A and B are shown apart, each in its own frame.
Chain A
Amino acid sequence: MAGIAAWGAYLPTFRLDRKTMGRAWDTPSLPGERSVSAGDEDSLTMGVEAALACLAGRDRSDVDAVFFATTTSPYAEKQGAATIAAVLDLPNALTSDVTGSLRAATTALRSALDAIAAGTARAVLVVAADARPAEPATATEQLLGDGAAAVLITADGPAEIIGVAGVTEDFTGPWRRTVDHYVRSFEPKLETEYGYARAVIAAAKEALSRAGIAAEQVTKFVAYAPDPRTLATTAKRIGVAEVARDPLFSTVGNLGAAHTLVALAAALDGAAAGDHIIAVAQGDGADALVLRIGAGIDAARSGVPVADLIASKQMLPSYEGFLRFRRLLPSDASDPRSSTVQYWRDRRQALPFEGVRCTACGIVQFPANRACVECAALDKMEPIKLAHRGRIFTFTLDHLVGGEYLETPVPRVVVDMDGGGRVFFDMTDVNPDEVRIGNEIELTFRRIHDGAGFHNYYWKARPPRTATVPA
């Protein structure tokens, strides 16, 4: 069978201590902290980050399909996978959003395996991301976290998938109607036993049986679970020898439809040839996949380890920061101006971050124009993808943005991109006092604003979170 050839994850830089949340509402606190996507992040921007991390340094021309799995697409009508494919510049890829269920990611994986088996795709990218909304002042609000992961499936991926099974069962829990603001949940005890454990155990046992693997042979059990205790007891009931520990619960939280894929990426980071991993996700039934780790696993390790992403963090000092990021407080600020027509026209600048190179003088420039910004030669331009890294040429800390005087300045930076191109960015995820000329930056995909009633996505600069270059 086919296997995972590459993987990558993305966790937002911000964390909120659950004690801070408990203090804010005068309620008990769960242990640990949760990840919080910033105000300009959503499932799609995090999915883009994970997709870029997964494919870093790899030729993408064989990626024939992109699937985006989420329960929190920023659009009710418009495809997220198409935006991811546009950033990756894969115009011929089959794209699809898999949504509506916490097992969307494993369902997308099963479809990817079918496409590889059918010979209709050489490589399939499965991206999962979630940033689920929770009722303020509830334990769910503390439990949930935001994050994303991506895996690339190919016919010869070294993390071979040797057994797949699934059960489908209509079950109302957890759920969110189109008119609901927050995730709803069922009577928890009933949900855990009848909605979760039964389906997960059935799918896992069947997948192991199809793989011809005994439960005791499993080295790692990775799964979405409503809480860590349920994860451990379920693993035990399947017969997995090792006690299943979730690396995410106390550090970033329950990542929803992305949870199993992020946990799987973490397991692959530490996997050795000969290991067996079982990955399970639940939601209206369950999917289970059994993986056998092959000798090529070390060569496939290109991305940033999940443990590094967990460690790379900034604490939100207060719950109010979370309220602001989530836009939970009403605001009468007017919409910034925008234009769907202009966004469409400039889509290659916005998404694949394409500039041009003048063949007359060699200067790389952005944004694209017919006449060279340096030598004025006309129609000598060839398109070129700009690097996602560069160095600050000059900067300011702007307190006066859009006629509004801010307490906290926005770092605004002029960057010389590696390999050419000079571009002006807003900077994020940085202490303004630490911005200097010459500092290295990398790009991060963000939702800039919602002018003209659509999500205007583009890039911001941030300090490099890791040593690896996403390109």
Chain B
Amino acid sequence: MPGIKDRIAVAGVGATRFTEHWEKDQEDLLVEAVDEACRDAGIERSDIQAIWAGVYYHTTGMGGAAAVDPLRMYGVPATRVENFCASGMDAFRNACFAVAAGVYDIVLACGVEKITDSGSRGLPNVREGLHPFLPAPSAPAMFAMAATRAFEVHGWNKEDLARVAVKNHANGEKHPKAHFRRAITMDDAMNAPIIAYPLGRFDSCAVSDGASAVIVTTPAVAKTLTHKDDYVLAKANGLSVYTANPMYKPSFDYLGFPATQAAAKMAYEEAGVTDPFEQISLAEVHDCFTITELLNYEDLGFCKKGEGANFVRDGLANADGPLPVNPSGGLKSFGHPIGATGCRMIGEVTRQLQGRAEGVQVRDPELGLAHNLGGPGAVCSVTILGRQ
């Protein structure tokens, strides 16, 4: 299998600010992100030959027209991608595959979500009540049950969670497109109201709106565009889908997410990464909740099982540490407009590798990792990007 390693180039990236966009609709956000990505790449919309758009909420999703209509790109092949919270990075994956297959030269991967049109308290209700009688946990509840197990088995506590929030908010303070641009203290994090015990408000990412876009092409074409000298290469993508109902699976231990472990293994093999802690220069990981980030460290092989809390406590994930995690501020600072997150992460890692990160620029990165997790750990997409 040839895979995508070094056969795909990121020619341009764009994103809106992630925040409560009361005065903009989903269409406005997507146009803004795509326009920025096209300008960044130095192309026109008419150069785009196909589109993959990550949109999760069916109430706002209109198939491929969700992208074609606002962009007025009538007639262009477009597919809406929905794969839980990893919808955005799965749009990128499909775009990469189409270019690697040789079908297209220049395609658009993008994602958008307008969450606050359904209110700003938690995610709109999709699964709850769909089944006549089986209860469905809220998103915080699902990850809270992982935290409860980690407290029991690893002896972790609220302070371990709070350190993740403090680190990511410190980074997000410096990012112009973050929803929350304010550092917080351990006290802030520890004393916030509970959302789903043991997770409090600062353990949870916010409800935000946003859009993001990535121009995907071949290295040969990228050499003719704006970033001809600093386009970024895709080194690997791994996608793994596990169960959407782990609470009914007797062997599920809640101490990690098998989808991440499997997707990471695929990506590392394709990229030739054997020691992720040494080889990965920075990572944007899916910190929908603080407990998720701690478990991600372990699932991605940055540290051993049970050592996630130490990893952040020892500063290893700090922006100036050996393996900066979420130098952008992560979902903690950006919120999580579902379909938009995956391509935003690709954009963050791309800009880091190009040395033009918005917010905290890490020093001399070679390889960057982006990790997008969806559902109750049901879907994971891991992308590795590298310099030419």
Residues of A within 8 A of B123 (CB): 403
Pairwise interchain contact A425-B135, C-beta atoms closer than 8 A: yes
Residues of A within 8 A of B122 (CB): 400, 403-405
Q: Is A307 an interface residue (CB 8 A)?
A: no
Complexed CA–CA distance, A339 and B139 (Å): 23
Contact with A along B248-261 (1 / 0, CB 8 A): 11111010000000
- 0 or 1 for each of A333-362: is its CB under 8 Å from B? (1 = yes): 000111100110010011000000000000
Which single residue of chain A is at the shortest CB-CB distance from B194?
A399
Query: Are B149 and A394 within 8 A (Cβ)?
Result: yes
Q: Would you call A363 and B121 a contact (CB within 8 A)?
A: no
A299 interface residue per 8 A CB criterion: no
Most chain A beta carbons < 10 A, residue from B129, B133, B146, B148: B133
A214–B243 CA distance with the chains assembled, in angstroms = 69
Contact A416 B250 (CB under 8 A): yes
A400 touches B131 (CB 8 A): no
Do the beta carbons of A398 and B250 come within 8 Å of each other?
no
Which of A86-94, A179-187, A452-460 makes up part of the contact surface?
A452-460
Chain B contact residues, majority secondary structure:
loop
Query: Is residue A365 contacting chain B, with contact meaning CB distance below 8 A?
Result: yes
Q: A350-B133, A451-B132, A456-B132 are in contact. Are A395 and B145 (CB under 8 A)?
A: yes
CA distance A399 to B194 in the complex (A): 7
B129's partner among A338, A365, A405 (CB-CB below 8 A) is A338
A-B pairs under 8 A by CB, number: 136
- Which residues of chain B in 180-236 are interfacial with respect to chain A, using CB atoms and an 8 Å cutoff? 193-199
Cβ-based interface call for A449 (8 A): yes
Chain A nearest Cβ from B128, distance in angstroms: 5
Complex contact B247–A422 (CB within 8 A)? yes
**A373 at interface by CB-CB < 8 Å:** yes
Give the docked Cα–Cα distance between A339 and B137 (Å).
19
> In the bound complex, do residue B247 and residue A424 qualify as a contact, i.e. CB atoms below 8 Å apart?
yes
For the complex, is A275 an interface residue (Cβ under 8 Å from B)? no
Q: Does A367 contact B (CB under 8 A)?
A: yes
- The reply to whether the CB of B141 lies closer than 8 angstroms to some CB of chain A is yes
The answer, among A336, A396, A403, for a CB contact under 8 Å with B137, is A396
B94 within 8 A of A: no
- Looking at chain A's contact residues, the main secondary structure is strand
Task: Let me know if B125 is at the binding interface, CB within 8 A.
Answer: yes
Contact residues in A for B195 (Cβ distance below 8 Å): 399-400
| Nearest chain B residue, comparing its CB with the CB of A373 | B249
Q: Is there an interface contact between A394 and B133, defined as CB atoms closer than 8 Å?
A: no
Alpha-carbon separation in the docked complex, A349 to B135 (Å): 13
Within 8 A of B (CB), among A214-245: none
Indicate whether A414 reaches chain B with its CB closer than 8 angstroms.
yes
A420 to B250, CA, bound (A): 8
Is B145 in contact with A342, judged by CB distance below 8 angstroms?
Answer: no
Taking a contact as CB atoms closer than 8 A, the residue among B121, B132, B249, B254 that contacts A400 in the complex is: B121
Q: Does A429 contact B (CB under 8 A)?
A: no
* A423 at interface, CB cutoff 8 A: yes
The interface residues of chain A lying within 8 Å CB-to-CB of B1 are: none
B314 within 8 A of A: no
Given A373-B248, A373-B250, are A403 and B124 neighbors across the interface (CB < 8 Å)?
yes
Closest to B250 in A: A422
Interface residues of A in 392-441 (CB under 8 A from B): 393-405, 409, 412, 414, 416, 420-426, 432, 437
Q: By the criterion CB–CB under 8 Å, are A373 and B243 in contact?
A: yes
Interface flag for A366 (CB, 8 Å): yes
Segment 14-41 of A: residues with Cβ below 8 Å from B: none
Within 8 A of A (CB), among B108-151: 118-119, 121-125, 128-135, 137-141, 144-146, 148-149
Give A314 to B135 CA distance when docked, in angstroms: 25
Min CB–CB distance A232 → chain B (angstroms): 46
Interface centre among B118, B138, B152, B249 (most CB of A within 10 A): B138
Q: Given the complex of chains A and B, what is the CA–CA distance between A365 and B130 in angstroms?
A: 21
Decide: A424 and B137 in contact? CB cutoff 8 A: yes
Complex alpha-carbon distance, A142 and B133, angstroms: 33
Does A342 contact B121, Cβ atoms closer than 8 Å? Answer: no
In the complex, chain B residues whose CB is within 8 Å of the CB of A213: none
B125 to chain A, nearest CB (A): 4
Bound Cα distance A432, B252 (Å): 24
Across the interface, B249 reaches (CB within 8 A) one of A343, A374, A396, A458, namely A374
A398 close to B247 (CB less than 8 A): no
Taking the closest CB of chain A, its distance from the CB of B222, in whole angstroms, is 42
Contacting residues, chain A, for B199 (C-beta < 8 A) = 396
> With the chains together, A343 CA to B134 CA distance in Å?
10
Expressed in whole angstroms, the Cα–Cα distance for A367 and B152 within the complex equals 27
Question: Could you tell me the distance between the alpha carbons of A416 and B253 in the complex, rounded to whole angstroms?
Answer: 12
Known: A365-B248, A409-B196. A403 touches B145 (CB 8 A): no
Tell me if A469 counts as interface (CB < 8 A to partner B): no
> Min CB distance, B219 to chain A, in Å?
40
Structural contact, B148 and A395, CB atoms closer than 8 A: yes
> Given the interface contacts A394-B145, A396-B196, does A422 sit within 8 Å of B132 by beta carbon?
no
Tell me, in angstroms, the Cα distance from A448 to B130 when the chains sit together: 13
Residues of chain B lying within 8 A (CB to CB) of residue A346:
131-133
Contact with B along A103-126 (1 / 0, CB 8 A): 000000000000000000000000
Q: Contacts A373-B243, A403-B125 given: A342-B119 contact, CB under 8 Å?
A: no
B176 to chain A, nearest CB (A): 30
Chain B residues in 8 Å Cβ range of A374 = 249-251
Pairwise interchain contact A400-B196, C-beta atoms closer than 8 A? yes
Which residues of chain B come closer than 8 Å to A342, judged between CB atoms?
A: 131-132
Beta-carbon contact of A396 and B118 below 8 Å: no
With both chains docked as a complex, state the minimum distance between the C-beta of A275 and any C-beta of chain B, in angstroms. 44
- From A373, A403, A416, residue with most partner B Cβ within 10 Å: A403
In Å, the complex CA distance between A337 and B248 comes to: 22
Q: How far is the CA of A350 from the CA of B131 in the complex (A)?
A: 11
Chain A residues whose CB sits within 8 angstroms of the CB of B248 once the complex forms: 365-367, 373, 422-424
Q: How far is the CB of A248 from chain B (nearest CB, A)?
A: 32
User: Which B residues touch A437, using CB under 8 A?
Assistant: 148-149, 152
Query: When the two chains form the complex, which single residue of A336, A367, A399, A400 contacts B134, counting CB atoms closer than 8 Å?
Result: A367
CA distance A416 to B254 in the complex (A): 14
Q: Kindly state the separation between the CA atoms of A456 and B134 in the bound complex, as whole angstroms.
A: 10
Asked if B129 and A336 make an inter-chain contact with CB atoms under 8 angstroms apart, the answer reads yes
Which A residue sits closest to B247, measured CB to CB?
A: A424
Shortest Cβ distance from residue B295 to the other chain A in the assembled complex, whole angstroms: 14
Q: Given contacts A403-B118, A403-B119, A414-B145, are A397 and B197 in contact (CB under 8 A)?
A: yes
Closest to B200 in A: A399
Known: A400-B122, A400-B140, A404-B121. A363 touches B135 (CB 8 A): no
Give A423 to B198 CA distance when docked, in angstroms: 21
Once A437-B152, A452-B132 are accepted as A-B contacts, the answer to whether A397 and B249 lie under 8 Å apart by CB is no
Partner of A401, one of B119, B128, B152, B247: B128
Q: Which residue of B lies closest to A341 (CB)?
A: B132
**With A394-B148, A395-B145, A396-B197 as contacts: A337 and B247 at CB distance below 8 Å:** no
List 20 extra interface pairs beyond A399-B193, A402-B138, A458-B134, CB under 8 A.
A336-B129, A342-B132, A343-B133, A366-B248, A373-B243, A394-B145, A396-B140, A396-B144, A398-B137, A399-B196, A400-B139, A400-B140, A402-B125, A409-B194, A412-B135, A412-B141, A414-B247, A422-B250, A423-B247, A424-B248
Instruction: List 19 A-B residue pairs with CB atoms under 8 Å apart, sorted by A's residue number.
Output: A363-B250, A396-B141, A396-B197, A397-B144, A397-B194, A398-B196, A402-B129, A403-B121, A403-B124, A403-B125, A404-B122, A416-B250, A422-B250, A424-B134, A426-B135, A437-B149, A452-B132, A456-B132, A458-B133
Give the 5 A-B CB pairs with smallest separation, nearest first. A458-B133, A396-B144, A336-B129, A397-B197, A424-B247
Which A residues have a C-beta under 8 Å from some C-beta of B? 336-339, 342-343, 346, 349-350, 363-367, 373-374, 393-405, 409, 412, 414, 416, 420-426, 432, 437, 448-449, 451-452, 456-458
